[in-house]
Amino acid sequence: MIKTEAIVLSSIQYGETGKILKCYTQKTGIQSFFVKGTHSKKQKISALFHPLTQIEVVYKENKNKSLNHFSEVRQSRHYKHLHSQAEKTCIALFLAEVLHSVLKEEEYNPNLYDFLQTSLLKFDENQNCYADFHLWFLLNLTVYLGFYPNIDFNSKYFDLVEGISTDANPGHFFVDGDELKSWEKLIQLDFFQQTENQFSQNQRKSLIDLLLKYYELHISDFRPPKSLEVLTVIFN
């Protein structure tokens, strides 16, 4: 039996009372689970399966099938606001969709799991200045995906394809001017020490477009999340 903490990335209804979950686990990486009776009176556990909920599961890994089954499941870390405040819920849905798309390896990565867990708890805790969180999160997630920007703050351009700063116009996807200033400001941002939001609505819109293009250029089958439109409306 395997006992591990996990973060719910997606939950798909299966039949009247079942769900298929995709989770990123602390010990075994990406795993999918089939859960029965999520709406029964005896098993009111559906609240555990909201996007980015942190749970602890016990299961026997079935290497011959794509779906595993819990023998035990409980909430491991409790959010106070993430699933009860509209803005935070929209951000959570957006980030869960991104994570569902980019986390595909079954092998575990304890440093990545620690980043996800710690960041989400800080996001939940921060009540005053979290409008920039999704930007900071997507940028710093690239550390673990392997394409964190190699920035030189004295250069004129940032080449989105190569992921590096340059003084020569790349001639393809690049950042310069005011967008480059915002890009560099985001790279210097420390959300854990942040005491106020750093970007305007227009700057956030520009940065999220840049980040998603950056992901598209470095992850072959990445597509912008469907929840992006809702996120844009919330912050306009």
pLDDT band for position 37 (50/70/90)?
Answer: low
Looking at residue 42, what is its pLDDT? 43
> CA–CA separation, 160 vs 183, rounded Å?
11
Of the pLDDT bands very low, low, confident and very high (cuts 50, 70, 90), residue 236 is: low
Question: pLDDT value at position 18?
Answer: 82
For residue 65, the tally of other CB atoms under 10 A from its CB is 10
CATH class of 81-236: mainly alpha
Of all residues in the chain, what percent carry a pLDDT higher than 70? Answer: 94
- Res 41: pLDDT: 45
pLDDT at 129 over 80: yes
Residue where the block lists tokens 């394809």: 161
Task: Note the pLDDT of residue 40.
Answer: 52
| Residue listed under structure tokens 């964190």 | 148
For residue 117, the model assigns a pLDDT of: 97
Confidence of residue 31 (pLDDT cuts 50, 70, 90): very high
Distance (Å) of CA 159 to CA 64, 78, 219: 44, 40, 16
pLDDT of residue 103: 93
Over 60: is that where the pLDDT of 191 sits? yes
Question: Which pLDDT score is estimated for 155?
Answer: 95
- Give me the residues paired with residue 58 across strands: 3, 72
Is-contact 230 203, C-beta < 8 A? no
- What are the extents of the domains in the chain? 1-78, 81-236
Task: Compute φ and ψ for 179, nearest 5 degrees.
Answer: -65, -40
Query: Fold identical between 1-78 and 81-236?
Result: no
pTM for the predicted model, two decimal places: 0.92
Lowest mean pLDDT among 1-15, 52-66, 159-173, 198-212: 52-66
CATH superfamily of 1-78: Nucleic acid-binding proteins (2.40.50.140)
